[in-house]
């Protein structure tokens, strides 16, 4: 059984690509939506556990900017579950002291969801516990393009000298501004790709791909990922201390 790594070995920021709901349902001869329902239970457990172990930042990929390409019925079901999750779980999140942020394009979601997002962020704004971020209608390329557009506009207006554009400045224009970059990105379901998730921010993240389908991802597996992370050697382009 994996044990909780001590705080110094805990990643500051874990980001998870929650994949495999559809296949989980298919294997049970259930409609894909049933997989998404089961996926919400896994979200609840992982959020609780992350709070329990004192993780500082947890980011969950819930809906990509490309997921609109799915059949309207599935998109509708996912939107419905998002609503349900916030209606059912926000009180517990508030009570656990977590601070909610939703990153993504708010212009495309329905008005009631946009208001729900704003309400969740407002209600948890003063919380000082874990930063709990949901990537919802999120795409990394779109995010970077929007930041570039904003800087270009400022430069065109004469408010910004292009020479002063640094990675830090661009970072500060991303949805994730203020959050540390993810140290660990986990993707479930055996797929080995980022699917447009936190492209800029994951420059030096440790990537971990696990075969478990998201609805089956539980506490034990989360701990196991943290344990494996604590034994990885991160170099950031430099040499390890033992060699330098
Ligand atoms: C992840 O599960 C949830 C979302 C993308 C919203 P999928 O729905 O992608 O499940 P698979 O990949 O088809 O099994
Ligand atoms: C990525 O999963 C998006 C989420 C987990 C929310 P997808 O299932 O949409 O990714 P692809 O299409 O397999 O790359
Ligand atoms: Mg998928």
| Domain of residue 75, CATH code | 3.40.1180.10
**Ligand 2 touching residue 135 (CB < 6 A):** no
Residue 210: closest CA among 225, 223, 227, 229: 225
| Distance in angstroms (rounded) separating the CA atoms of residues 129 and 126 | 9
Neighbours of ion ligand 3 (CB under 5 A): 19
Quick check: is 4 in a domain?
no
Total domains in the fold of the chain: 1
- Tell me the catalytic residues: 19, 67
Quick check: is 176 in a domain?
no
Which pair of tokens denotes residue 1? 């059984």
Report, in angstroms and rounded to the nearest whole number, the Rg of the chain calculated over CA atoms: 19
pLDDT at 1: 57
| Distance in angstroms (rounded) separating the CA atoms of residues 212 and 151 | 41
DSSP run (H or E) holding 193 = none
Strands (E), the chain: 13-17, 57-64, 99-103, 131-138, 184-187, 206-209
DSSP run (H or E) holding 48 = helix 32-53
DSSP three-state, residue 188: coil
Mean pLDDT of the chain: 96
CA 22 to ligand 1 center in whole angstroms = 5
| Distance in angstroms (rounded) separating the CA atoms of residues 232 and 215 | 26
Q: Which alpha helices (H) appear in 96-236, and where do they start and end?
A: 111-124, 140-156, 167-171, 219-230
Note the Cα 187 to chain centre separation in Å.
11
pLDDT tens-digit map of 132-173: 999 999 999 999 999 999 999 999 999 999 999 999 999 999
Residue 189: closest CA among 148, 153, 167, 221: 221
Cα end-to-end span (Å), the chain: 35
**Ligand 2 touching residue 91 (CB < 6 A):** no
pLDDT tens-digit map of 6-21: 777 899 999 999 999 9
Domain that holds residue 108: 9-138+182-230
Quick check: is 222 in a domain?
yes
Quick check: is 56 in a domain?
yes
Quick check: is 40 in a domain?
yes
Quick check: is 202 in a domain?
yes
DSSP three-state, residue 114: helix
pLDDT-derived band at 64 (thresholds 50, 70, 90) equals: very high
pTM over 0.95: yes
Quick check: is 38 in a domain?
yes
Quick check: is 164 in a domain?
no
Q: Which atom of ligand 2 is nearest to the CA of 135?
A: 6
Burial class (CB in 10 A: 0-12, 13-18, 19+), 107: exposed
Pocket test for ligand 1, best of 18, 21, 30, 41 (most atoms within 8 A of CB): 21
């Amino acid at each position: 059984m994996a044990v909780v790594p001590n705080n110094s070995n805990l990643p500051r920021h874990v980001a998870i690509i929650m994949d495999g709901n559809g296949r989980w349902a298919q294997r049970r001869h259930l409609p894909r939506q049933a997989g998404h329902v089961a996926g919400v239970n896994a979200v609840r457990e992982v959020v609780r556990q992350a709070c329990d172990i004192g993780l500082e930042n947890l980011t969950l990929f819930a809906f990509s900017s490309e997921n609109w390409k799915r059949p309207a019925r599935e998109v509708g079901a996912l939107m419905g579950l998002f609503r349900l999750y916030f209606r059912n779980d926000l009180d517990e999140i508030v009570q656990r002291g977590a601070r909610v942020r939703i990153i993504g394009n708010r212009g495309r979601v329905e008005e009631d969801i946009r208001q729900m997002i704003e309400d969740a962020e407002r209600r948890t704004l003063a919380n000082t516990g874990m930063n709990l971020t949901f990537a919802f209608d999120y795409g990394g390329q779109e995010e970077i393009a929007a930041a570039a557009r904003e800087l270009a506009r400022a430069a065109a207006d004469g408010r910004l000298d292009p020479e002063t554009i640094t990675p830090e400045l661009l970072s500060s224009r991303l949805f994730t501004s203020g959050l540390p970059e993810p140290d660990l990105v986990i993707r479930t379901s055996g797929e080995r790709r980022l699917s447009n998730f936190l492209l800029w921010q994951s420059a030096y993240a440790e990537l971990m791909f696990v075969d478990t389908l998201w609805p089956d991802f539980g506490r034990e597996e989360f701990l196991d990922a943290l344990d494996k992370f604590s034994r990885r050697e991160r170099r950031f382009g430099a040499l390890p201390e033992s060699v330098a």
